[in-house]
């Protein structure tokens, strides 16, 4: 799973207004949709500061890899490892007005944006180099041509606005919802194609709940004053959209849309329920779907969506789909027209005139993320090109920034972590020999992908114009959608990647049983060949361990080595595992990240398991790398201390409260401070490294420490 941002719960559609968001954190309030296919893909949220030298103990003159200038000497690691390591940096650092979150991960993300900008601008200057260079340059130019965009205003959307206005009945409404599956818009029902969770060699279409503008249903339903503030901001935003589009009674229409979305929110499953792969696997025939939700003309919906010959599909949230059919028929057509108009205006606002861009930023940027200033236009342009032509840029990125030696070193590192995992499984006290053997089989079947895909995406069918930004966005979205639905009826392409090489992240995909590390994460500060082994194992080592561990978290452990949703556990071992994870839920439930707002230990369980197991495995791998030799003391720090300092400093970050609120209700990752504290508090090695005793704030009795993998 990624190490840092949001991922699809039950089939998130490829909609990306903020491309290349870290997949370990939801990029703190930015409603990030990464171009990922699997509903169950897991991402790491680790921000790392150094990699491993992988050849035994570091010498005394080797850099420690620990940024002691960021320490807070007034905080003891025995009381709070996170603030001991990062407190000085936090006190000294001011969030830039355009950022909701900064930290180690964001630093590398910004560096890669600069690199992508250079690649894009070079392509724009040399369009004759290739057809892809021409498209890259034209798309970038179309975004940067502010004068033309301002002159056009909302003209590019007039055909679609007219289509909405022309709706005369609910049958036409349903047909439009089907047609809009290829648009970069959120509608109440989304369609996806991915490997069948119970037959991972075959593809399966499915539908899932969608259609809310705010991060989670809590924003519509909870009484918390912070959510009420967001609701009022959303109403102002909707009013501004209708006013800019010159609709009559904009405030009244805004209320209509909000109330309709609120009803959708009441019908939707919680994010915790959506994490359950058994609950969200409901394969139905078309006849069964019609019985479940008789108020929708399903043949029309699927025909307009470009998949008219479906024999069966997965319905991720059956209760929602059934209730949605009733809602479609019970609400006036005019209300649905206002809703669709708002979705259209909101979806395309980033690509329209300044008034629309500003209105959108006032809501998503200021109200939901707490930022005070819009990102520079070039950054938004780069994100858009990354979103639409990601692998075309990635091909050039790899040539410039990913030497073969980096891939070889990463392979060695992963091998060390896998060896540690195999040893750890063999010594688990809570697992029986039969389940232990099955776990070893699954681990042996992992596929490893490093750097970049063997086969690059073909963009030849994607039409891009230097003078039509909205058209380009439509074409790029339709291209991604066509690529997705073309998979139906074909064997799963196991060579495909869910991230581009320039994405600073990593992931585990249970239906393919693969761990994937894009090139961008394999460089400083993540991959530093000069850094000490200890700090690097605490950094990138824990990240790799995190991804490996997702195959054995509460979700991933329900899939076998072939990627099928299939129980390979004995009932007794599963019960023991669930008893352990219940303790982990309780631990993280106890962390108060904002006044009156605690971490949801059930929502974050998978990532917390991966953080805890990843740290434990990384430590074991570090010990293996020493080959029985003592680690040197560097800068007054023992090897074990540097390991935990390295782990804590990768989570160095600063986040605005509004963005943190969004993360707490919608993101499966715990906030960074608690990722460092929570996992360290369960590590026996941490207690030995810092001589932690009763009375220290991080102390946990040995019997209370949660040891999973």
Per-residue b/e over 503-518, b at no fewer than 16 CB within 10 Å? bbbbbbbbbbbbbbbb
Q: Is 158 helix (H, G, I), strand (E, B) or coil?
A: helix
Q: Which of 547, 607, 667, 672 is catalytic?
A: 547
Q: Which of 205, 217, 200 is nearest to 315 (CA)?
A: 205
Count CB atoms within 10 A of the CB of residue 147: 8
Q: Which of 435, 452, 193, 215 is nearest to 314 (CA)?
A: 193
DSSP 70-94: G--TTS-TTT-HHHHHHHHHHHH--
* Max Cα-Cα span within the chain: 78
Q: Which of 297, 573, 611, 672 is catalytic?
A: 611
β-pairing, 312-315 vs 199-209, is parallel
DSSP 365-384: IIIHH---SPPPHHHHHHHH
Burial class of residue 92 in the structure, from the number of CB atoms within 10 Å of its CB (0-12 exposed, 13-18 middle, 19+ buried):
exposed
Q: Is 611 a catalytic residue?
A: yes
| Spatial distance between the Cα atoms of 183 and 171, rounded to a whole number of angstroms | 19
| Spatial distance between the Cα atoms of 385 and 409, rounded to a whole number of angstroms | 30
Written as six digits, the tokens of 290 are: 């019609």
DSSP H helices, 199-311, are 218-221, 225-244, 250-267, 286-292, 298-304
Written as six digits, the tokens of 122 are: 């070079």
Written as six digits, the tokens of 357 are: 């861009």
Using the Cα atoms of residue 528, residue 396, residue 21 and residue 371 in order, give the sign of their dihedral.
positive
| Spatial distance between the Cα atoms of 252 and 526, rounded to a whole number of angstroms | 51
- Report residue 42 CA to chain centroid gap: 8
Q: Is 228 a catalytic residue?
A: no
350-354-358 Cα angle (round to 5): 70
Residue 641 DSSP one-character state: H
Catalytic residues, by residue number, are 547, 611
């Amino acid at each position: 799973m990624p190490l840092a941002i949001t991922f699809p719960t039950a089939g998130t559609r490829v909609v990306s207004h903020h491309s290349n968001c870290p997949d370990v954190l939801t990029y703190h309030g930015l409603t990030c949709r990464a171009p990922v296919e699997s509903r169950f893909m897991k991402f790491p949220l680790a921000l790392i500061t150094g990699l491993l030298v992988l050849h035994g103990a570091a010498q005394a003159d080797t850099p420690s890899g620990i940024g002691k200038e960021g320490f807070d000497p007034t905080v003891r690691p025995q009381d709070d490892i996170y603030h001991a390591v990062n407190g000085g940096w936090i006190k000294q650092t001011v969030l830039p007005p355009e950022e909701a979150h900064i930290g180690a991960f964001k630093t590398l993300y910004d560096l890669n944006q600069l690199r992508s900008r250079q690649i894009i601008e070079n392509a724009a200057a040399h369009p004759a180099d290739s057809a892809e260079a021409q498209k890259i340059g034209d798309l970038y130019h179309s975004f940067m041509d502010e004068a033309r965009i301002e002159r056009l205003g909302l003209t590019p959307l007039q055909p679609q606005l007219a289509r909405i206005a022309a709706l005369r009945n609910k049958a036409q409404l349903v047909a439009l919802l089907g047609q809009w599956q290829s648009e970069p818009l959120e509608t109440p029902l989304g369609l996806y194609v991915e490997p069948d969770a119970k037959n991972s060699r075959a593809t399966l279409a499915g539908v899932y709940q969608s259609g809310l503008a705010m991060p989670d249903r809590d924003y519509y339903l909870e009484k918390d004053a912070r959510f009420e503030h967001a609701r009022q901001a959303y109403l102002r935003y909707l009013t501004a959209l209708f006013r800019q589009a010159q609709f009559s009674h904009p405030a009244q229409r805004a209320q209509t849309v909000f109330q309709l979305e609120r009803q959708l929110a009441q019908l939707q499953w919680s994010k915790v329920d959506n994490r359950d792969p058994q609950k969200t696997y409901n394969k139905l025939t078309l006849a069964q779907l019609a019985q479940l939700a008789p108020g929708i003309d399903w043949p029309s919906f699927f025909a307009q969506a470009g998949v008219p010959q479906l024999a069966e599909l997965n319905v991720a949230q059956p209760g929602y789909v059934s209730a949605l059919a009733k809602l479609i028929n019970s609400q006036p057509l005019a209300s649905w027209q206002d809703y669709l108009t708002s979705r259209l205006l909101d979806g395309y606002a980033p690509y329209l005139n300044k008034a629309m861009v500003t209105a959108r930023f006032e809501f998503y940027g200021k109200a939901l993320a707490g930022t005070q200033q819009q990102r520079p236009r070039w950054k938004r342009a780069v994100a858009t090109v990354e979103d639409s032509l990601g692998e075309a840029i990635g091909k050039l990125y790899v040539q410039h920034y990913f030497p073969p030696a980096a891939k070889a070193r990463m392979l060695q590192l992963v091998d060390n972590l896998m060896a540690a995992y195999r040893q750890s499984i063999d010594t688990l006290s809570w697992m029986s020999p039969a389940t232990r053997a099955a776990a070893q089989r699954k681990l042996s079947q992992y596929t490893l992908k490093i750097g970049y895909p063997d086969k690059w995406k073909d963009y030849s069918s994607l039409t891009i114009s230097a003078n039509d930004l909205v058209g380009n966005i439509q074409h790029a979205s339709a291209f991604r959608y066509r690529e997705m639905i073309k998979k139906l009826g074909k064997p799963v392409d196991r060579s495909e990647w869910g991230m581009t090489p320039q994405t600073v992240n990593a992931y585990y995909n249970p239906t393919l049983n693969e761990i994937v590390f894009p090139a961008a994460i394999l460089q400083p500060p993540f991959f530093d060949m000069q850094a000490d082994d200890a700090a690097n194992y605490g950094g990138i080592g824990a990240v790799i361990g995190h991804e490996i561990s997702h195959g054995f978290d509460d979700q991933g452990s329900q899939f076998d080595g072939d990627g099928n949703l299939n129980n390979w556990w004995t009932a007794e071992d599963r019960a023991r595992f669930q008893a352990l994870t219940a303790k982990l839920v309780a631990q993280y439930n106890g962390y108060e990240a904002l006044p009156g707002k605690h971490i949801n230990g059930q929502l974050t369980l998978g990532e917390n398991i991966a953080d805890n197991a990843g740290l434990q495995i990384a430590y074991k791998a570090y010990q293996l790398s020493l080959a029985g030799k003592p680690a040197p003391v560097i800068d007054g720090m023992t090897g074990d201390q540097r390991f935990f300092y390295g782990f804590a400093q990768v989570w160095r970050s600063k986040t605005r409260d509004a963005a943190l609120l969004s993360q707490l209700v919608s993101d499966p990752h715990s906030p960074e401070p608690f990722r460092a504290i929570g996992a360290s508090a369960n590590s026996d090695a941490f207690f030995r490294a810092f001589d932690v005793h009763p009375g220290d704030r991080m102390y946990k009795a040995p019997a209370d420490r949660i040891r999973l993998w």
